[in-house]
Every structure is written in structure tokens, then in C-alpha cells.
Amino acid sequence: MTTIMGTNSLNSAIMQLNAIEPKIGMKCCTIHWTDRYPATVTKIMGKNTIEVTYNKYKILDHYGEIYKISDELLGNSKIFTKRKNGRWVQKGDGMKNGMGLSLDTHNMRIDPSF
């Protein structure tokens, strides 16, 4: 079986392979295939469980992919668990295809092709 993955999907997959230890206040981004949304680690719930809260942002140029990310948090949080394959995945999602998390970056992107 052949899998075709676009460059942005590949970038998102690679971003999830970081071996960084999360800390409260650390920037991160949730990964939804080619889209990435800025968040902040707000709670360490255990060695392999964290809570992240989304940051407020503004789209300055959708097609130029220019965003302004605020330190202000929106209040909607998600729980992520570190899986045996090393990925941080939203609690309740599948290990391979669930919503992922990349730590220590606010590398936001909303795919303009959708």
C-alpha cells in the first residue's frame, strides 16, 4: 500500500517527534493534519499527561499564512497523553491518527487550500 503525503502533512508529522519534556507555560501547537493551532501547556497532570489551552490568534493574511499569536488564553483546554510511540495525542484519540501535539513551538498554520 502506498501512502501519499503532502509536504505540510510531512512537516506536521515530523513536528510531533520531538522528545521535549513539557513544562507549564511552554508554547505548543495542536496538529490537525496540515493545520496547526497555537496553545500553551497549562497543567502537568502526570509523567505522561498534560493539559493545554489554546491561545488567542488573529489571521493577518490567510493565503500568505501570516498570523499574530497572543499570550492570552482562550480557556478551552484539551488533555494530551504521551503514547508508547512517543507522540503526544489527545486523550481518547488513536495513537497513530489522533490529534497530535508539538511542544516548544507556536508554528501556526491554517491550510488555505481548504
Confidence of residue 83 (pLDDT cuts 50, 70, 90): very high
Least confident of 11-15, 62-66, 75-79: 11-15
According to the model, what pLDDT value does residue 49 have? 97
Confidence (pTM): 0.82
According to the model, what pLDDT value does residue 30 have? 96
- Please spell the DSSP secondary structure of 48-84, one letter per residue: TEEEEEEEEEEEEETTTTEEEEEEEEEEEEEEEEE-T
Higher-scoring residue by pLDDT: 2, 37: 37
Higher-scoring residue by pLDDT: 105, 8: 105
Cell numbers given for 23: 513544562
According to the model, what pLDDT value does residue 113 have? 81
pLDDT digit string, tens, across residues 22-67? 999 999 999 988 899 999 999 999 999 999 999 999 999 988 889 9
CA distance linking residue 88 with residue 112, whole number of Å:
25
